[in-house]
Amino acid sequence: MKQIVLKADNLRLRFGGVVAADGASLTAYAGDRIAIIGPNGAGKTTFVNICTGYLKPQSGAVIFEGKDITPLAPRTIARGGIGRSFQLPQLFLDNTVFENLLLALSAREGTWRPWMRLDRHPKADEMRDMLEVIGLSKVGDRPVRELPEGMRKLIDIAVALALKPRLVFMDEPTSGVSSREKFSIMDTLVRALDHSATTAIFVEHDMDVVSRYADRVAVWTGGKIALEGTPEHVLNDPDVRKNVIGV
């Protein structure tokens, strides 16, 4: 029996009249690759926001490695081993790509030494390798502000992975990436995840990506996980085909 990494239990949250989460539950086991799919604007990002501490549910709990993290701040949750990437990349635009990764490295290692240059970080090579892996070595010294959205997307995920989280949430990793590149990005990503034995939950719209890279699929409708199973099972469900995939 695999170990439970994350257990979101019966989460409920409403803003004013809008129900964002209505009894949402999801369990992730070590090494899982769970894809969350669902119609646009259904609140998939809200689910990620609750699990990472940005929003607080009105009831329900998020249990990470047996510990209740529901009341914790995003900062504490991040330090505890959950990383995340964003639908719109959240990066330090004035800093270089390399510096973005090095700041994540410093955060992970707690190396805030005022006498040490950031680019001379003792483990800087690890980040250089990561740049190599995601194929961005050439732009490593350019400020993120100058780079196109597709690259930022990748950097955003790399920054999240630089923390070496045990669980990572990725909010639409392939949106804004050309369809030609999406598989190579996902290949790279999955290799990195396998290498570090990181459990991953990702929100995804692209069903090709879902069927190829997810080992479980969860369908988010009406503020909860309405259906869950293997990609073959879920993607062939008539309801899902009609309402989510739209065929």
Partner 1 sequence: MSLDIILLAMLDGLSYGAQVFLVAVGLSLIFGVLRVVNVAHGSFYAIGAYVAASMGIWIATAGWSPWLSYPAMLVAAILVGVVVGGLLEATLLRRIYGKEQVLQLLVTFAVFMILEDVQKVTWGVKPYFVNTPLSLLGTVNVLGINYSIYQLAVIPLVALCVLLGLRFILRYTRIGRIVTAVTEDREASMAMGVDSSRVYLFTFMAGAALAAFGGALASGSTSLVPGMGSGMIILSFAVAATAGLGQIEGAAVAALMIGLGRSIAVYLAPEFDVLMPYLIMFVVLLFKPQGLFSTLQTRKV
Partner 2 sequence: MRFDLLLGAIAFCAVAGVPFFIPWATVMLTIALGVGLAVLGVVVLLRAGQISFGHGLFYAAGAYTVAFLVQARLGLDTLLLLPAGALVATVIAIVFGFFAVRYRDIFFAMINLAVSMVAFSLLEKLYGITGGGDGLNVARPTLAGLKLGRVSFEFWMFYTTLAIVVVVALAVGRYLASPLGKGLEAIKSNETRLEYLGVSSGRILHIAYAVSACLAGLGGGVIAIVTGHVAPEFAYWVRSGEFVFIAILGGAGNVVGAFAGSIVYEIVRNYAAAFAADYWQTILGVSLIAIIMFAPQGLTQLRFGKRRTGA
Q: Which of 12, 19, 27, 54: binder of partner 1 (CB under 8 A)? A: 54
The Cα–Cα gap between 70 and 167 comes to 16
Which of 93, 184, 187, 232 is in the footprint of partner 2 by CB under 8 A? 93
Cβ distance 76 to 58 under 8 Å? no
Query: Considering only 6-14, 16-24, 84-92, 176-184, which stretch makes contact with partner 2 by CB under 8 A?
Result: 84-92
- The site partner of 60 among partner 1, partner 2, none (C-beta below 5 to 8 Å per kind) is none
What pairs with residue 199 in β-bridges? 167
Q: Which of residues 15-54 bind partner 2 (CB under 8 A)?
A: 52
- Applying CB under 8 A, the span of 8-16, 39-47, 83-91, 239-247 interacting with partner 2 comes to 83-91
Question: Segment 13-52, which members bind partner 1 (CB under 8 A)?
Answer: 45, 49
Cα–Cα distance measured from residue 50 to residue 22, given in angstroms and rounded to the nearest whole number: 12
How many other CB atoms sit within 10 Å of the CB of residue 193? 18
- 116 touches partner 1 by CB under 8 A: no
Which residues, 55 to 114, sit near partner 1 by CB under 8 A? 86, 88, 90
- Alpha helix segments (H runs only) across the chain: 44-51, 74-79, 97-109, 124-133, 149-162, 179-195, 207-213, 231-235, 238-240
